[in-house]
Amino acid sequence: MLAHFPAANHLLLMFPSFVFDSPLWSRTRRNMDVIMRHWLFEQYNSALEVYMRLAEMVAERLRWSTLLAGSAIATATSAAPSGFPVSGNGLWYRTPGTIWSKEWLPVGNGYLAAMTPGGTTFETTQLNIESLWSGGPFQDPTYNGGNKQPSQRAQMATDMQNIRQTIFTNGTIDNVEVLSTDPGAYGSYSGAGYLLTSLNSTSHSSNYTRWLDLDAAVARASWSSGNGTLIRTSFCSHPLQACIQHLSSAPSSTIPTITHAFSAALEDGLPTPTVTCLDNSTLQVEGLVSDPGMAYELLFRASAVGNSSRVACVPSGTGNATLTITGATEAWVTWVGDTEYNMNAGDAAHNFTFRQELPHDKLVSLLETASPSSQTPSSSTYASLLAQHTAAYTSILGPFALSLGQKPDLTSSTDELKAAYQTNIGNSYLEWLLFNFGRYLLASSAPGVLPANLQGKWADGSSNSWGSDYHSNINLQMNYWFAEMTGMSSVVVPLFNYIENTWAPRGAYTAEVLYNINQGWVTHDEMNVFGHTGMKLSGNSAEWADYPESAVWMMVHVWDHFDFSGDSQWWKSQGWPLLKGVAQFHISKLIPDEHFNDSTLVVAPCNSPEQVPITLGCAHAQQLIWQLFNAVEKGYAASGDNDEAFLSAVLSQRAQMDKGIHIGSWGQLQEWKIDMDSPNDTHRHLSHLVGLYPGYALASYNSSIQAPPHGTAYTKAEVLNATQTSLIHRGNGTGPDADSGWEKVWRAAAWAQFANSSTFYEELSYAVERNFAPSLFSMYDPFDADPIFQIDANFGYPAALLNALIQAPDVASLTSPLIVTLLPALPTTWPTGSIESARIRGGMSLDMAWADGKLTSAAISVNSSSGAVERSVEVVYQGKTVASFTASPGANFTIP
Ligand SMILES: *[C@@H]1O[C@H](CO)[C@@H](O)[C@H](O)[C@H]1NC(C)=O
Ligand SMILES: *[C@@H]1O[C@H](CO)[C@@H](O)[C@H](O)[C@H]1NC(C)=O
Ligand SMILES: *[C@@H]1O[C@H](CO)[C@@H](O)[C@H](O)[C@H]1NC(C)=O
Ligand SMILES: *[C@@H]1O[C@H](CO)[C@@H](O)[C@H](O)[C@H]1NC(C)=O
Ligand SMILES: *[C@@H]1O[C@H](CO)[C@@H](O)[C@H](O)[C@H]1NC(C)=O
Ligand SMILES: *[C@@H]1O[C@H](CO)[C@@H](O)[C@H](O)[C@H]1NC(C)=O
Ligand SMILES: *[C@@H]1O[C@H](CO)[C@@H](O)[C@H](O)[C@H]1NC(C)=O
Ligand SMILES: *[C@@H]1O[C@H](CO)[C@@H](O)[C@H](O)[C@H]1NC(C)=O
Ligand SMILES: *[C@@H]1O[C@H](CO)[C@@H](O)[C@H](O)[C@H]1NC(C)=O
């Protein structure tokens, strides 16, 4: 990368060398690659300017981290802080965090998010607003979602025809670049600046600790200084759509003067906003994510307790201001924020503007609700805000509970536990904590307007790796893998709103212009918040871009939401219309296989996600489309739709289609219909095994319905054997192509599906050892000095763990029994444990316990919601059916 920039030498003269030696610089340079790929580069006059800007930013950041480190203290606490959950359900540390990606701690409510290093006299809280994105129509009014122009439709049809002909004669094609489009103003999710908090205190600090309480959903730092112990608490309340940072002392005494300021300079690439006083206790920030670009607003209101306390907003310099609090015994700042983004204006009726007026009045009223200016703040005001927050968080988590028989270790800090953790040896306490942390992160990032992105909602800098976007070829899916099973159904709904409002409307245009298809809609792998439905060009982009099955995979989540919840109102109004739109497109897109001429229907061109060759009948696509068609049949009766023509088209195509299951020359499950897999291919994705986990085309294989239209079916044993052969050859999830956490937890889940408890545990614990940071965030490149945070493994981990304890994979038809397997891959390290209120398909809920590695009790109840369908269930334990019954709404079963 650097070689392309002639300017680098100039910089070395202008900034001290520590700037370039810092991990921040290495990350910043890497982000440049992302910027380049997103073509934002033209905004700058020259490479020199870009590097100047980055170096300034790094220098500023380092100045602050030096201050931060200076405020840290040597005297460590010996055990978890008082107030830390006695169950051990939290993360704690003896020193403040330095590196954002692996040491800072997250809070969030889905709308807003923040990362805190846990500073003392200086605290730098990094802020996020969920919809703050560069790019889109805000940056470029001609932005059209990376699509072709209407005038190109006929040419595309011809090009597509030629591509298919080449594939049918030649088996593969070198590239399909002609179908893709320059991403234009694709943009990136951006950080929203920093809240800088300083205390006017020179007292020596000691007795430092910081922690994240996963029971209460608060981040805290405490340290002793001068008169007593200061404690800072941060949280983001879901009901209030506001975040709060609170400072108090014990015993109660006057706390030092607090100054809050806002900095965009620390936020890599964020332009300088206007900072003013909205009123005498409220700081207002109005800025742009880029110029031109989306506008955002943040409001910070200070509240102070104490007779002689005083709050003031003080203008400083030009376009700047600070909030100060003096003489308080307790004080807090409440902040709210929003942008011009409007997800409901992303359709033709709104000319795909995605725009609204900056909702200033709404922000003021949110602030008034959280911290009314007319009220004199008191300790009890704050206590009730906190209690309301924790109650809302607890209700998002629901009644689900897991025990792995873990014993909390309250004398080792979380980073120490993580550092001591080893593959296969493990630590059930840390494993349990990671499970709960995944649930905390989903509860804190998913229930906003937009779904959780590649980093949940936590991203630092204005240009993030992969745009911190919605990669929907495994990553977005993995984010939600465990949600239904652990009863977090409510947080999934924003995901469906996002698909409905940003994918479907422009996806219908893409279907027409790119595929010459007049019904339904399509999108591809990489998605921003502006309906980027075209194929995103970057080099020979087929590996990434040629993925019209992304929405097919997402429809698994749509179907599952109905299957788990039985919510037929939702199904009629949102679930079914989504599923139907995707299925309509794919019944028009499947074509007769003119390569094998075997009378089947296939997709072409296709490739496995992020993996060439470009060919026909890719296993991944065929399996997913088959599952989609099954969901259409299963959900038709409940949909209220009477479009029989659509249903029969789906059923007839399903009968004719290639099911994506072929066993190849070395006993493998073929990734492509042509047998050309390499036994040495350790690619990160398990694309062709999607039907093993999280899908069911392989896991619930049924030879009578998955036989080729004209030919002999494999037996289930043959299919699973081939699947396992492919899984073995795919390696352990560290390969020449990547070393991410998500590929390992996917493998762990797959091994659990084979009831192989030792390989499951080896892979799961390997992921923990290798890819999780001291903050327990999952790392894309764990050995980098300042690694990239990618949240998917945090979310894939709980799902993989659960897959060792309970399996109830979907089935093609509601007339096939649902097989519920208890403790299918229980590793020896969790001899004792229990699960309460795990949810399974058919609106069922499961409680169970085990001891000495043996099941001791289990009970299933079926919720009484009217939408839950009657179905036959078989419960299997240790290879034997231990119960079978017909599940009907309201029924309860004790097993055995
Ligand atoms: C250390 O901090 C804790 C709070 O985490 C407090 O309870 C304790 O009194 C402090 N100890 C000293 C010696 O200041
Ligand atoms: C819609 O947006 C396009 C640019 O994408 C613009 O050319 C056109 O004038 C807009 N139409 C309306 C009605 O605003
Ligand atoms: C035909 O396939 C071969 C690989 O089997 C490939 O090298 C060649 O480039 C392909 N031809 C075209 C036109 O894509
Ligand atoms: C900080 O405190 C010192 C001494 O208490 C005082 O002189 C100074 O003005 C204060 N600074 C600010 C910014 O409040
Ligand atoms: C200690 O208390 C005094 C008086 O209440 C106050 O002025 C001072 O800021 C406090 N110092 C610290 C470090 O809390
Ligand atoms: C506003 O003041 C804060 C605190 O002094 C500073 O960090 C920030 O960079 C200032 N902003 C501008 C635009 O000067
Ligand atoms: C703050 O402003 C309000 C009106 O906005 C006013 O009533 C109040 O007196 C002011 N307080 C101070 C301390 O200036
Ligand atoms: C499983 O596959 C291997 C390798 O292809 C083969 O040797 C073995 O016989 C197969 N086993 C079964 C039960 O099909
Ligand atoms: C796979 O790797 C082995 C060992 O590196 C090598 O001998 C073999 O030729 C490779 N096979 C293929 C099909 O690439």
> pLDDT for 411-440, tens place per residue?
999 999 999 999 999 999 999 999 999 999
Integer angstrom CA distances of residue 817 from 167, 374, 813: 40, 61, 9
Residue with tokens 């002999």: 712
190 vs 171: CA distance, rounded Å: 42
Q: What is the pTM of this model?
A: 0.93
661 vs 684: CA distance, rounded Å: 20
CA angle 360–365–368, rounded 5-degree value: 130
243 vs 234: CA distance, rounded Å: 7
Predicted pLDDT at 714: 97
Phi, psi of 362 (to 5 degrees): -65, -40
Q: For a ligand 3 pocket test, name from 164, 165, 167, 173 the mutation site with the most ligand atoms within 8 angstroms of its C-beta.
A: 173
Distance of alpha carbon 284 from the chain centroid:
30
Residue with tokens 């945070």: 789
Q: Which ligand is nearest to the CA of 615?
A: 3
Q: Is the CB of 142 under 6 A from ligand 2?
A: yes
- Three-state DSSP class for 878? coil
CA angle 221–396–454, rounded 5-degree value: 70
- Tell me which of 712 and 86 has the higher pLDDT: 86
Integer angstrom CA distances of residue 46 from 12, 50, 60, 289: 17, 7, 22, 20
Integer angstrom CA distances of residue 244 from 191, 331, 370, 565, 713: 18, 10, 9, 34, 60
Report the C-alpha dihedral over residues 12, 13, 14, 15, rounded to 10 degrees.
50
Q: Which ligand is nearest to the CA of 306?
A: 5
Predicted pLDDT at 866: 60
Q: Is the CB of 678 under 6 A from ligand 9?
A: yes
Q: For a ligand 2 pocket test, name from 350, 351, 506 the mutation site with the most ligand atoms within 8 angstroms of its C-beta.
A: 351
CA of 230 to the centre of ligand 1 (A): 9
Q: Which amino acid is at 895?
A: I
Q: Is the CB of 316 under 6 A from ligand 4?
A: no
C-alpha atoms less than 13 angstroms from C-alpha of 422 in its C-beta half-sphere: 2
Helix extents (H) in 298-408: 360-370, 379-397
Q: Which amino acid is at 421?
A: Y
Predicted pLDDT at 36: 38
- pLDDT at position 870 over 60: yes
389 vs 504: CA distance, rounded Å: 34
Helix extents (H) in 398-488: 414-420, 428-445, 475-479
CA of 252 to the centre of ligand 5 (A): 11
**pLDDT-based confidence at residue 227 (cuts at 50, 70, 90):** confident
Average pLDDT over residues 656-663: 98
Predicted pLDDT at 226: 84
Q: Which ligand is nearest to the CA of 666?
A: 8
**Which of 33-37, 421-425, 661-665, 721-725 comes out lowest in average pLDDT?**
33-37
Q: Which ligand is nearest to the CA of 167?
A: 3
658 vs 656: CA distance, rounded Å: 7
- pLDDT at position 619 over 60: yes
Q: Which amino acid is at 664?
A: G
**pLDDT-based confidence at residue 38 (cuts at 50, 70, 90):** very low
State the average pLDDT for the chain.
Answer: 92
Q: What secondary structure does DSSP assign to 127-195, as a single string?
A: EEETT-BSSGGGT-TT--SS---GGGHHHHHHHHHHHHHHHHHHS-BS--GGG-B---S---B----EE
Please give the radius of gyration of the chain, using alpha carbons only, rounded to the nearest integer.
27
CA of 370 to the centre of ligand 7 (A): 18
C-alpha atoms less than 13 angstroms from C-alpha of 278 in its C-beta half-sphere: 20
- Three-state DSSP class for 872? strand
Predicted pLDDT at 711: 81
Q: Is the CB of 327 under 6 A from ligand 5?
A: no
Average pLDDT over residues 384-402: 98
- Three-state DSSP class for 95? coil
Q: For a ligand 8 pocket test, name from 721, 724, 729, 754 the mutation site with the most ligand atoms within 8 angstroms of its C-beta.
A: 721
Q: Is the CB of 718 under 6 A from ligand 8?
A: yes
269 vs 61: CA distance, rounded Å: 12
832 vs 813: CA distance, rounded Å: 35
Neighbours of 694 (CB within 10 A): 25
CA of 678 to the centre of ligand 9 (A): 8
Closest C-alpha among 729, 17, 808, 89 to residue 438: 89
Predicted pLDDT at 73: 45
Q: For a ligand 1 pocket test, name from 77, 205, 224 the mutation site with the most ligand atoms within 8 angstroms of its C-beta.
A: 224
- pLDDT at position 868 over 90: no
Atom 1, ligand 4: residue with shortest CA distance:
200
Return left, alpha or beta for 302; rule: phi > 0 is left, psi -120 to 50 is alpha, else beta. Answer: beta
Integer angstrom CA distances of residue 167 from 589, 613, 729: 16, 11, 27
C-alpha atoms less than 13 angstroms from C-alpha of 247 in its C-beta half-sphere: 32
**Could you tell me the two tokens for 689?**
């095994």
Reported as a single tens digit per residue, the pLDDT across 601-611 is 999 999 999 99
Q: Which ligand is nearest to the CA of 309?
A: 7
Predicted pLDDT at 734: 97
896 vs 883: CA distance, rounded Å: 6
Average pLDDT over residues 231-252: 97
Atom of ligand 6 nearest to the CA of 320: 1
Atom of ligand 7 nearest to the CA of 311: 13
CA of 620 to the centre of ligand 9 (A): 24
**pLDDT-based confidence at residue 22 (cuts at 50, 70, 90):** low
Q: Is the CB of 680 under 6 A from ligand 9?
A: yes
Q: Is the CB of 175 under 6 A from ligand 3?
A: no
94 vs 109: CA distance, rounded Å: 26
CA of 200 to the centre of ligand 4 (A): 6
537 vs 545: CA distance, rounded Å: 7
- pLDDT at position 255 over 90: yes
CA of 349 to the centre of ligand 2 (A): 11
Neighbours of 714 (CB within 10 A): 20
Cβ–Cβ < 8 Å for 430, 419 = no
Q: Which residues have CB under 8 Å from 218's CB, separation 6+?
A: 107, 212, 233, 234, 235, 386, 389, 390
Predicted pLDDT at 27: 57
Predicted pLDDT at 712: 85
Reported as a single tens digit per residue, the pLDDT across 179-221 is 999 999 999 999 999 999 999 998 889 999 999 999 999 999 9
Atom of ligand 4 nearest to the CA of 200: 1
Phi, psi of 801 (to 5 degrees): -60, -45
CA of 204 to the centre of ligand 1 (A): 14
Predicted pLDDT at 447: 98
240 vs 384: CA distance, rounded Å: 12
**Could you tell me the two tokens for 664?**
């190849």
Predicted pLDDT at 6: 32
Reported as a single tens digit per residue, the pLDDT across 299-325 is 999 999 999 999 999 999 889 999 999
- pLDDT at position 8 over 60: no
Closest C-alpha among 220, 164, 767 to residue 515: 164
Predicted pLDDT at 72: 44
Atom of ligand 5 nearest to the CA of 200: 9
- Three-state DSSP class for 336? strand
Q: Is the CB of 149 under 6 A from ligand 2?
A: no
Q: Is the CB of 255 under 6 A from ligand 5?
A: yes
CA angle 476–482–487, rounded 5-degree value: 125
Q: What secondary structure does DSSP assign to 412-430, as a single string?
A: S-HHHHHHH--TTT--HHH
**pLDDT-based confidence at residue 46 (cuts at 50, 70, 90):** very low
The DSSP bridge pattern shows strands 854-862 and 871-877 to be unpaired
Q: Which amino acid is at 506?
A: R
Q: Is the CB of 375 under 6 A from ligand 9?
A: no
CA of 60 to the centre of ligand 4 (A): 24
435 vs 446: CA distance, rounded Å: 16
Q: Give the DSSP letter of residue 539.
A: S
Q: Is 208 exposed, middle or buried (0-12, 13-18, 19+ CB in 10 A)?
A: buried
**Could you tell me the two tokens for 801?**
């763990």
Q: Is the CB of 257 under 6 A from ligand 4?
A: yes
C-alpha atoms less than 13 angstroms from C-alpha of 848 in its C-beta half-sphere: 27
Average pLDDT over residues 62-81: 58
Q: What secondary structure does DSSP assign to 642-688, as a single string?
A: --HHHHHHHHHHHHHB--S--B-TTSPBPSSSSS---TT---S--GG
Q: Is the CB of 736 under 6 A from ligand 9?
A: no
Reported as a single tens digit per residue, the pLDDT across 470-528 is 999 999 999 999 999 999 999 999 999 999 999 999 999 999 999 999 999 999 999 99
Atom of ligand 4 nearest to the CA of 326: 14
Neighbours of 83 (CB within 10 A): 16
Q: Which ligand is nearest to the CA of 350?
A: 2
Reported as a single tens digit per residue, the pLDDT across 331-353 is 999 999 999 999 999 999 999 99
**Could you tell me the two tokens for 812?**
């093609």
* H or E segment to which residue 818 belongs: strand 818-822
**pLDDT-based confidence at residue 20 (cuts at 50, 70, 90):** low
Domains of the chain: 1-75 (no CATH), 85-132+201-395 (2.70.98.50), 147-180+424-459+467-807 (1.50.10.10), 818-894 (2.60.40.1180)
**pLDDT-based confidence at residue 369 (cuts at 50, 70, 90):** very high
Atom of ligand 1 nearest to the CA of 82: 5
C-alpha atoms less than 13 angstroms from C-alpha of 142 in its C-beta half-sphere: 5
Q: For a ligand 5 pocket test, name from 227, 229, 308 the mutation site with the most ligand atoms within 8 angstroms of its C-beta.
A: 227
- pLDDT at position 151 over 80: yes
Ligand 6 binding site (Cβ under 6 Å of any ligand atom): 196, 261, 263, 265, 272, 317, 320
Phi, psi of 63 (to 5 degrees): -60, -45
CA of 687 to the centre of ligand 3 (A): 23
